[in-house]
Amino acid sequence: MTSKSVINRPLEYSLRLFGVWPDSSYPILKIIVWTIIMSTFLIFQYWYCIIHIKSSLIELLDGLSYTLSNSLVFLKLIVIWLHKRTFYEILRTIFEDWNIGSTTVQNKQIMLDKAILSSRISNFLIGYFAITFFLYAGLALALFDEEQISSDSKQRKFLIRMEFPFAATISPHYEIILAIQFIFEFLIVYGAATSIALIAALVSNF
């Protein structure tokens, strides 16, 4: 079952990635993998916030802001996973309304206009979130003091504030964690954009 009328390809691929698109491959496996990844990262993030609750207020707020935003994305995914059947019914209803409503030329034109608007909104939101993330990540990496990093590994900064049960600031642990954080945060931003784009796409259909 597809609903190409309001769900464009980028948004469909996003939903497939998170295992919530009808007929997507290995949905249970995707849900399990995402749950393990998100839970692990959030544990490290909350651990950092708990340890630094009495330290610098700026560092605490910086870590807490990303922790809460990532938690919100994870919560949205959980809600969609728990209500997949309802989501499938919504898509089925939209697809049926599209077929019924496109019987006349006038109705077909109206629905095509809605589909174009929905596609533009989805592309804009996904693109906007992606550009914002790369600008933030690039700026954050550029502000890392290379001299300080090379002289004292304990002062190395991460893209996301986390606390690890091992020496994470020594090489090659630091470089590996930084790369994983970059990929993880990009997928989180992608998930946030997907949830908002999905709501906009569904609303624009009515």
User: pLDDT tens across 89-146, in order?
Assistant: 888 877 777 666 555 666 667 777 777 777 788 788 888 888 888 887 777 777 665 5
- Lookup result for tokens 């933030």: 136
- Lookup result for tokens 């544990």: 43
Residue 188 lies in a domain: yes
Residue 2 lies in a domain: no
Nearest Cα residue to 122 out of 36, 21, 20, 200: 200
User: pTM of the full predicted structure?
Assistant: 0.75
Average pLDDT over residues 12-27: 84
Beta-strand (E) ranges in 29-182? none
* Cβ(91)–Cβ(80) below 8 Å: no
Q: Which domain holds residue 187?
A: 9-204
User: pLDDT tens across 149-190, in order?
Assistant: 554 555 667 778 888 888 777 878 888 888 888 888 888 888
Please report which confidence band the pLDDT of residue 3 belongs to, taking 50, 70 and 90 as the band edges.
Answer: very low
Q: How many domains does the chain have?
A: 1
Residue 154 lies in a domain: yes
* Cβ(49)–Cβ(64) below 8 Å: yes
- Give dist(CA 107, CA 205) in Å, integer: 13
Residue 4 lies in a domain: no
Confidence check: pLDDT of 28 > 70: yes
CA torsion angle 194 200 201 202 (round to 10): 110
Residue with the larger pLDDT of the pair 97 and 1: 97
Which stretch of DSSP H or E encloses residue 76?
helix 57-82
Residue 54 lies in a domain: yes
Average pLDDT over residues 29-47: 90
* Cβ(135)–Cβ(185) below 8 Å: no
User: pLDDT tens across 72-88, in order?
Assistant: 888 988 988 898 888 88
Nearest Cα residue to 159 out of 147, 142, 85: 142
Residue 127 lies in a domain: yes
Here the tokens at position 96 are 């049926």
Ranked by mean pLDDT, the top range of 4-13, 28-37, 135-144, 180-189 is 28-37
Nearest Cα residue to 191 out of 45, 4, 18: 18
Residue 178 lies in a domain: yes
